[in-house]
Structure 1
């Protein structure tokens, strides 16, 4: 409900078109399937002045993302920490340079047919560590953070009347099984991020839900729940 939700908010909402399965990062090489990807450059250097000029903004920014982009928003904030006052990361897997993290990233990119080595190179390439938000969490200091994840156990939106279920039993089963497995995996990554931030003494607002799957109903809840913090960061 992003259009309706922001309709009465004094804020410009800019959503990139494209970039699925790209991690919104600068790839080392063009990919035969996913093409040329220089998202970090585009989103942190090229797009902001265009938006500011076109919309007459005050130059204050926040960024939020879910699932794959829940990882990307943290990486983008670390790449350009002075650009964003707040970050919302929902159900992302921020620990990307460990073996489980690399496996998860590889799964996501290859799901659309991309070759992850065109993105960050082979497993021993330094780019994996450079783009790991957990390793580089110190760069998040001074940014307001809202970080959420569920456990993967069925919750309030796992029913035939849930968002995007539309009474379809197959869709519900997929959300419970596949969405549950993915959310359980991202839960481990997100706790690793929380541990790292706590060790560094970097504050964050956390929402670790006891139930919930990797699905849109919960991310809509995340958007609503994170907005007061983000709005405060933008002095709205």
Structure 2
């Protein structure tokens, strides 16, 4: 375990050197499932959040996958809906896919304080209480859920599953860094890159509380998937992903991980999504 922690520390330092990694874009062609815009009022954030939803094709009750965006939160029109063929991938799969739009630089967590630039962020509350309740009412969720994130939201996706173990049966990180405590300089850099103040997000102790590697017991029974590429600025992300997977396995958590070919790009992100389905699909019965 001590050796794994040393690896995680090195990975965190590498992520700091990499800084905020850009997400290269690719435009989707010929989408295969209708995308529904679903506004949900968040009492905790005092605003309405728009969510892009791919309803399950069967029309009845179905599992739900909450698929989070990267550093821009999708408000910049960079995300699954615009840069991948995910509609084609999910065309015949019995699952409702939900992507909230917003949360740039938020790490999809509950912030300690309102931020002058990024506003009031209570994304953990939204994603574990408010949004699932609304999705279940309007789209017929059957109670079997998974959550996945990319880049900025990779680690938070696994943390959210740890925060709400009865809600999410599976969680995935695509080109993210689940070991958030040791990668905290990169976390802070991402928040600053979006114009926010990281001191409004977490205190130093919160980085420990929200690190799923340091709170692995909360993930027992949850199917975990982690992937990253192998080129360019993706290298420190790969180091952190591999070390996080090893640390979780050392604590008895069921983890499936893949090393993919490529840089920090939507080709690699989408590749991770497709590979992860062998873990997520069976976990939620989709």
TM superposition shift of 1:208: 1.9
Partner of 2:284: 234
Q: Which residue of 2 aligns with 1:192?
A: 243
- How many pairs were matched up? 202
Partner of 2:201: 119
Match of 2:211 in 1: 132
Deviation digits for residues 175-194 of structure 1 (CA, Å, limit 9, x no counterpart): xxxxx22x112122212212
1:189-221, Cα deviation, whole Å (9 max, x unpaired): 212212211211212111023x32111001111
**Are residue 47 (structure 1) and residue 124 (structure 2) matched?**
no
Work out whether 1:18 is the aligned partner of 2:102: yes
More strand by share: 2
Matched, 1:224 2:278: no
Confirm or deny: 8 A CA contact 1:147 1:205 kept in the other structure: yes
Deviations 1:109-167 (A, max 9, x none): 1111111000003xxx311111112111221111111111122x2xxxxxxxxxxxxxx
**Structure 1 length normalisation: TM-score?**
0.82
TM-score (norm 2): 0.68
* Contact 1:134–1:192, Cα closer than 8 Å, also in 2: no
Q: Secondary structure at 2:101's aligned position in 1?
A: coil
More helix by share: 1
Q: 2:192 aligned to 110, 119, 128, which one? A: 110
Map 1:65-214 to 2 at 5 A: 65-98=149-182, 101-121=183-203, 125-151=204-230, 153=231, 180-181=232-233, 183-209=234-260, 211-214=261-264
Runs of 4+ in structure 1 deviating by more than 3 angstroms, as ranges, are none
Residues 150 and 212 in structure 1, CA contact (< 8 A), matched pair in contact too: yes
Q: 2:149 is paired with a residue of what secondary structure?
A: strand
Residue 86 (structure 2) aligns with: 2
CA distance in structure 2 between the partners assigned to 1:83 and 1:195 by the alignment: 25
2:144 is paired with a residue whose SS is coil
